[in-house]
Structures are given as structure tokens and as C-alpha cells.
Structure 1
Amino acid sequence: MDSVETAATEGDDLLSELMKPLRLTGVFDSRWNVRAPWAIEGDAEQSCAVLHFITEGSCWITADGRTPFRLHEGDLAVFPTGTAHRLSDHPERRGGVALGSMLPEREPGTSGEIRIDGDGPVSRLLCAGLHYDEYAATGLYQALPWALVMDCSQVDQEPLLRDTLRLLAATDRPVGPGDRLVTLRAFEMALVLALRPLLRELADNPSALPVLRHPGISKAMVIIATRFAEPWTIEALAREVGMSRSAFTAAFRELVGEAPARHLTGRRMQEAARLLGETSVPQSAVPQRVGYQSAVGFHLAFRKWFGMTPGEYRAGRPSSARLAGS
């Protein structure tokens, strides 16, 4: 395999890791029916992706220090880390209404509606806050651009995504037992289906996510994502990707936004939390499964990361959620 094929494979592997669905913990969804003039100011959301799907008309999205962009009917915008932004009928519209005053609660598991009457063009939107476990968001996910956009033609090329969004946007969709769970999983699927083509585009645009085009750091990210259980040191990682320790550490910090040691610890803790919270793997077996030879060392690292012991973490998870370990 030549170097170009190797780089492509590693890029695909890295994108696959990033695309693994963030398990949503809750969704607040709302349907907007607004007539110009209008503007709504959204707050920054913590551990929450935000989704806007335009079902009729159009809207502008602006944010501090960002270039405004316009969404038209059938377009989809995803804000992976919930960056604060404004929606309006015109990019220069002033005097926007705070989202919190229109929808003050926005509790996960509930729905809402916004109506603004004016004498201008009508716009209708499906909007949602997709809450996820903060510990499931990798450093690479946190480094995604503030907004990812699919235009109508791109959405149409993903029929399952298009049809899921249309169903979720419908005001007369069927309601019955398990409706909120179905809605949660449908939004979860929509998020992953939207990220897939958008991340392919990012792979071809180094300026948007440079780590995908750095052969050494990209390879290290794949190693950390998939081989975290091996006894890595920073020196060993640097050798594995053909870099000096100092160059590797500096480049990793610049491109990923955190030190390689912290990123490795984060990946190990993410897997440890999954094993403790979602499987019946014995607690004593978890340290070795995530790369720790010492149970004491794992215990201390886990407590520092999560603010609780592994036992407390497992006890706090619903037992019915635990599946047979493998």
C-alpha cells in the first residue's frame, strides 16, 4: 500500500471513530412558524448539539466573529458543540428576542413551539437541542467547526436522513407508547447521518480540520481511538508515528487542542465508563481492558476524571441498561 492509500485509510479510520454516534441522553425539539420581521437569540449550549432544518422559507444564521450564512427550504445546519448563534429573516436584523423567553424550559424529553406573527414571508423550521454525555465527546469531536451545513441537494442525496427529518418536522406525526424514546433515537440517527457526508467533506478540506491531513497526528489519533488498551507512553506513540517526542507533543497540542497524554486518558476513561455503565464486565477486569496494569492507578485516574470512584459510577447507572460484556 503506497503512502497516499495509507493516508486515505487512516483518514477514513479517524472519521469512523469520530462518526461513532454520541449516545444522546435527551432531546428538546421545537417547531417554529415565523413571519418576517423576526430574530431569535440562542444561548450557548453545554454538552448539546443543535440542529436546524428548514421546512419552508429561509433564515439567516449569524454569530459573533463568524460570517453570516443563509439557509433555504430543505437545508440542514448542525452545531456540534452548541455554539451560540442568532436566527433571523435578515442578517442585519436588530432587537432579537431571547430564545429563553420564547421557550424558557427546554427540558430534554419535551417539545415546544414558536410563533411570531408579522406581515412578511413565512419560514418554518424544525429545531432541536441534542443532549449528549459530555464524557462521550472526544477531543476531535470538540474540534469540529462551529457549524456544519448541508444544502437541500445534499440532504436529498441521503434519503434516510431526509425522510427522518421530514417525519420529525411533521406536526401530525403519530404519538403513542414509547414516542419520546423513538424521537430520541430518530434524532440520534439524524445526527449521525448528517455528520457522515459532512465529515467526508472535511477530510478534503484541511483548513477546516487540519488534523485529518497531518499523517503523524492523524495516525496517532487512530491508535488512541482503537488501541488504547496497549501500554502506550508518549515516547512510544511518537516513535510509532515517526516523530520526535517534542515535535509530536507540540503538533498534537496545536491540532487537537490538548496534550496527547490527556487525550489518551480521555479515551481510556470513555471506554471505562462504557464498560461500567453499559455492560456486566466485572469491575476488577476494567483496568486492564482500558490499558491500566495497576488497579490502584486506574482507580485514581478514574476518580480524578469523573469526580467519583468506578464503583460509585456503576452504582449510579440503571442496572437495566447493562448488557452482557464481551
Structure 2
Amino acid sequence: MHDDVLSEVLRPLWLTDVFHSTWQAGGQWGVEGHDDSCAIVHYMVSGGCVISFHDDTEPVMLNEGDLAVFPHGTAHTFAAESGAPATPLAALLPQLRPGRSQAVTVGSPPYRTQMLCASLRYCAIGEPVLYSALPRLIVIRRHFLRGESLLVRTLESLPSEVGRTAPGSRLVTLRAFETVFILSLRIAMEQLADESPALQALHHPGISKALMAIHGSYRNPWTVESLAREAGMSRSVFAQLFRELVGQPPMRHLTLRRLQEARRQLADTSVPLQEIAQLIGYGSQVGFHLAFRKEYAMTPGAYRAGHKSVAAPVPVTT
């Protein structure tokens, strides 16, 4: 069930491309990143570094074999140690063009730290409703990776694969990082749930069933009562716990899931506008139009008119 709910929650997340880079660092070094509209992955091939954010939170140490995931591309600094002078990322990588790769050397020899980094670009239209509640940093320690043979093999093969120019390399690299991303979230959900209410929601036996229903069967005429029965909980306990873990009431979450699907359908001009309300679970065009306009301050027709040029992205799952 847990794997199923993760698949359903991530199903709308369309990864479209990846920029990846290999890093060598030594001596006193630091790199100051910026907010980015993508997911970011750092894998410590050898050595270590310190991750810090632009606030008062404690720095996080990454050691050899550790994997760090930034679901929202939150600005951060990675350096040899806390307080080390940092070079802006834009100065080292002036053009982060999706589909490209680059090798970067910082600091001074000997270069004992090696990292593999990636920026995973996804279509904002498909960002999962629950995805925004994930923590800004998820760290998968080396000992958690030992039982994940597919993830370990993928990580170990990436340094040699990313440098290849063979036919299909761009797609292979995208799928490989996509695998790393999804497996990382699965490990976090199973092993690190206490670190985030969103991860707890995915892991909770009752709430995960309700999320599965909302994300997988959003067309159904769900109510708080029927979702509570799906979760095997009383209405009051379910409603309170859902709000605590997910960050919003069940029916609000259902509305956002339906409207997320509506945006996807509106971006696909082959779907007739008058059919979308029924496709996403609304009983009337009026109800759909009112909900859409309230959420996005425009009508569905206006949204479609502004997204006619959007190309169909590559889905993260099948």
C-alpha cells in the first residue's frame, strides 16, 4: 500500500529534463546556491561536505555514500566546513541548461571530495498537491542505502554513465536520476517518516489509504465520511489527523487534486473543454468553473488559452 500511495502521489509529477554535474573539491572551498524551481540531488561519491541554509538552522554534514535530496530546490550552501568562503554557483555554472552536463573543480588539490549533482526539472502544472509539504532537505545516510540494491547500483553507475555520449544517453541519464529521486522518497517515507508530517501521512496506514483514494480515484464523489471509512477511522479522528499531517482538510486536498488534474487536461488541447468537469469528478460545469476561478483567478477557458503552447511532458511514472 505504501508503495502504491507514493506512486499515486507522484504520478502527476512530470520530470522533463535534468542538468547534471560532477564535482571535485579540495582545501578550503564553498559554493553558494540559489533558489531554483526544480528538485536537486547531491550524492557524495567520496569525502564530505557541510550543507547550510540561509537561516539559523544547524548545518548538516554529508559523508561519503550519503545522498541529499532538495525536493523544492531550496537555496543552500555546500562547503568543506561551516563558514568557509563560498563562491556563487552562477559563477561556476553560468549556464545550467537542461540536458547538459559539466565537470567542476573547486578549491585546491588534493581533491579528496567528489560529488555527483543534478537538477531535476519538472512541469509545474503537474506538481503533486502533497509534494509542497515535503521538507526542504531529505538526507539518506549510507547505512539506509545498504538494503536498497537498485538505488545503490544506480548511484554507483551514474558517475561513468553521465560522461557518455552514446545514443540515448540523455534519456538514460534522465531515467536514472528519476529512479534515484523516487527511490529516495520511498526510503524517506519508510525510514524517516518522523522527520516530516508529509512523510508521516504517506506512511500512516489509515491516512495513506485516504490519500490513495484521493489521488487515484479523484473522480469519485468522496465525502469526509466515506474517506474516513476508507481509512478505517472515525470521522472526527480522521479529519483531525489528516489536517495535522497533510496540512489541509481532506475535502480541500481533494479539490486541489481535482484542479491539478484539470490544469493538466486544459494544457492538453485535444481534450474538449466541456468534458473536463466530468473527467475530474465535478457534477456540473458551473461548480467546476467556480472552483477553478476561485483557486486560480481565471476561468478554465482563459487558462487553456494561455497554455496552448505547452508541450506534453514526460510522465514520471507509467
Is the 8 Å Cα contact of residues 33 and 88 (structure 2) preserved in structure 1? Answer: yes
- 1:293 equivalenced with 2:291 (yes/no): no
CA drift of 1:35 comes to: 1.0
Query: Partners of 2:305 and 2:240 in 1: how far apart?
Result: 36
Report the CA distance shift for 1:207/1:65 in structure 2 as closer, same or farther (over 3 A).
Answer: farther
* Residue identity in the other structure for 1:312: A
| 1:254-284 CA distance string (max 9 Å, x none) | 4322343432122112333445557966554
Query: Partners of 2:290 and 2:305 in 1: how far apart?
Result: 13
Query: Partners of 1:145 and 1:158 in 2: how far apart?
Result: 22
| 1:6-51 CA distance string (max 9 Å, x none) | xxx5x565444345473212211111111121111111222x1110
Given candidates 169, 181, 186, the residue that maps to 1:191 is: 181
Report the CA distance shift for 1:279/1:201 in structure 2 as closer, same or farther (over 3 A).
Answer: farther
* Residue identity in the other structure for 1:187: F
* Structure 2 residue aligned with 1:316: 309
Given candidates 20, 35, 56, the residue that maps to 2:46 is: 56
Report the CA distance shift for 1:78/1:293 in structure 2 as closer, same or farther (over 3 A).
Answer: same
Equivalence map 1:56-75=2 (5 Å): 56-63=46-53, 64-75=55-66
Query: Partners of 1:13 and 1:318 in 2: how far apart?
Result: 28
Report the CA distance shift for 1:239/1:188 in structure 2 as closer, same or farther (over 3 A).
Answer: closer
Query: Partners of 1:188 and 1:322 in 2: how far apart?
Result: 11
Query: Partners of 1:51 and 1:257 in 2: how far apart?
Result: 25
Is the 8 Å Cα contact of residues 24 and 188 (structure 1) preserved in structure 2? Answer: yes
TM-score normalized with structure 1 length? 0.78
CA drift of 1:216 comes to: 6.3
TM-score normalized with structure 2 length? 0.80
* Residue identity in the other structure for 1:73: E
- 1:38 equivalenced with 2:13 (yes/no): no
Query: Partners of 1:304 and 1:313 in 2: how far apart?
Result: 18
* Residue identity in the other structure for 2:67: L
Q: Quick check: 205-214 or 263-272, which moved more? A: 205-214
Report the CA distance shift for 1:174/1:211 in structure 2 as closer, same or farther (over 3 A).
Answer: closer
Could you tell me the percent identity over the aligned residues? 43
Report the CA distance shift for 1:236/1:163 in structure 2 as closer, same or farther (over 3 A).
Answer: closer
Given candidates 267, 271, 283, the residue that maps to 2:257 is: 267
* Structure 2 residue aligned with 1:6: none
Is the 8 Å Cα contact of residues 46 and 65 (structure 2) preserved in structure 1? Answer: yes
Is the 8 Å Cα contact of residues 198 and 246 (structure 2) preserved in structure 1? Answer: no
Is the 8 Å Cα contact of residues 37 and 89 (structure 1) preserved in structure 2? Answer: yes
Is the 8 Å Cα contact of residues 49 and 81 (structure 1) preserved in structure 2? Answer: yes
CA drift of 1:78 comes to: 0.9
* Residue identity in the other structure for 1:109: G
Report the CA distance shift for 1:19/1:294 in structure 2 as closer, same or farther (over 3 A).
Answer: closer
* Residue identity in the other structure for 1:52: H
* Residue identity in the other structure for 2:131: Y
> Unaligned 5+ residue runs, structure 2?
none
CA drift of 1:128 comes to: 0.9
CA drift of 1:209 comes to: 3.9
* Residue identity in the other structure for 1:24: L
| 1:44-70 CA distance string (max 9 Å, x none) | 222x11100111221121223433222
Is the 8 Å Cα contact of residues 62 and 87 (structure 1) preserved in structure 2? Answer: yes
* Residue identity in the other structure for 1:28: F
Query: Partners of 1:137 and 1:180 in 2: how far apart?
Result: 23
Report the CA distance shift for 1:14/1:181 in structure 2 as closer, same or farther (over 3 A).
Answer: closer
Query: Partners of 1:181 and 1:322 in 2: how far apart?
Result: 11
Query: Partners of 2:28 and 2:235 in 1: how far apart?
Result: 56
* Structure 2 residue aligned with 1:136: 126
Report the CA distance shift for 1:261/1:206 in structure 2 as closer, same or farther (over 3 A).
Answer: same
CA drift of 1:94 comes to: 3.1
Greater relative contact order structure (CA < 8 Å, 6+ sep): 2
Is the 8 Å Cα contact of residues 129 and 257 (structure 2) preserved in structure 1? Answer: no
CA drift of 1:300 comes to: 4.5
Query: Partners of 1:128 and 1:257 in 2: how far apart?
Result: 29
Length, aligned pairs only? 309
Query: Partners of 1:184 and 1:41 in 2: how far apart?
Result: 25
| 1:153-190 CA distance string (max 9 Å, x none) | 43343232223223332377431344323322221122
Is the 8 Å Cα contact of residues 276 and 313 (structure 1) preserved in structure 2? Answer: no
* Structure 2 residue aligned with 1:125: 115
Indicate the SS of the match to 1:170: helix
Query: Partners of 2:245 and 2:181 in 1: how far apart?
Result: 24
- 1:88 equivalenced with 2:79 (yes/no): yes
Given candidates 8, 19, 22, the residue that maps to 1:17 is: 8
